[in-house]
Amino acid sequence: MSEEVRKSYTDGMCVMIDDRLPYDCAEIHGFICGLIAGGCPNDHHEFLKHISSIFGTSEEGFSPAMKGWLIRFFALVYEEFVAEEELTIPFEDDTSDMEKSLYRVSEWSDNFMSGFSSYHHSAGKLSKDMEEIFRDLSAITSVDLDAGSMEQNEFDENYTTICEHLKSCAQLGFAQYGFNDPRFGVRTESGKLLATS
């Protein structure tokens, strides 16, 4: 599944270049993860209604290629969440440009919070765990690893730690607030999905 997500992520970058859209796929992936963790069901109409806010348009405003890619990418990421696989952060292995890498984790974090808040409207009723996640992600949006003064291997180590934390934040959010779809199983009090036969 991780390779499919990474390939789709790359496809999305090409679509956005073709459509001349000034966005990075890290922003889209973060927003999607936030939506899913916040309770968005596996429904592409519901998804497109919310994702359009990033682009300042309506569902009808997407090109056919963009709309098709968004729907496919959303489905792949959703499948990772419900399958309880390790979440893929598609850009985590690309640290060739340190400044761009920091930009991506910052944008991912910011858009995760936007996606979660877009679907989960009870911001004042978040669990203590989720409040802590929001504090952590807020801190990441302003993280300064001082990339210019770091050796590549030192930067890679710090960057990997941050990406692992992004995965944990998203999966914990989904465990607490993710949509309880009986087609995928029954969610226990701990948040784990138990498969139904």
Helices of type H across the chain: 2-18, 25-37, 44-55, 64-82, 98-119, 128-140, 152-177
Would you state the pLDDT for residue 192?
A: 47
Beta carbons of 37 and 166 less than 8 angstroms apart: no
Beta carbons of 6 and 19 less than 8 angstroms apart: no
pLDDT higher than threshold 90 for residue 73: yes
Would you state the pLDDT for residue 141?
A: 82
Specify the range with the lowest mean pLDDT, choosing from 73-77, 90-94, 183-187: 183-187
> For residue 194, what are the β-bridge partners?
186
Q: Which residue has the higher pLDDT, 142 or 90?
A: 90
- The 8-class DSSP code of residue 182 comes to T
Q: Report pLDDT digits (tens) over 186-195.
A: 444 444 444 4
Number of domains within the chain: 1
Q: Report pLDDT digits (tens) over 92-148.
A: 888 888 888 888 899 999 999 999 988 776 545 778 888 888 898 998 887 665 555
Would you state the pLDDT for residue 151?
A: 77
Residue numbers of the domain that contains 42: 2-194
Kindly report the CATH number assigned to the domain that includes residue 89.
1.20.120.740
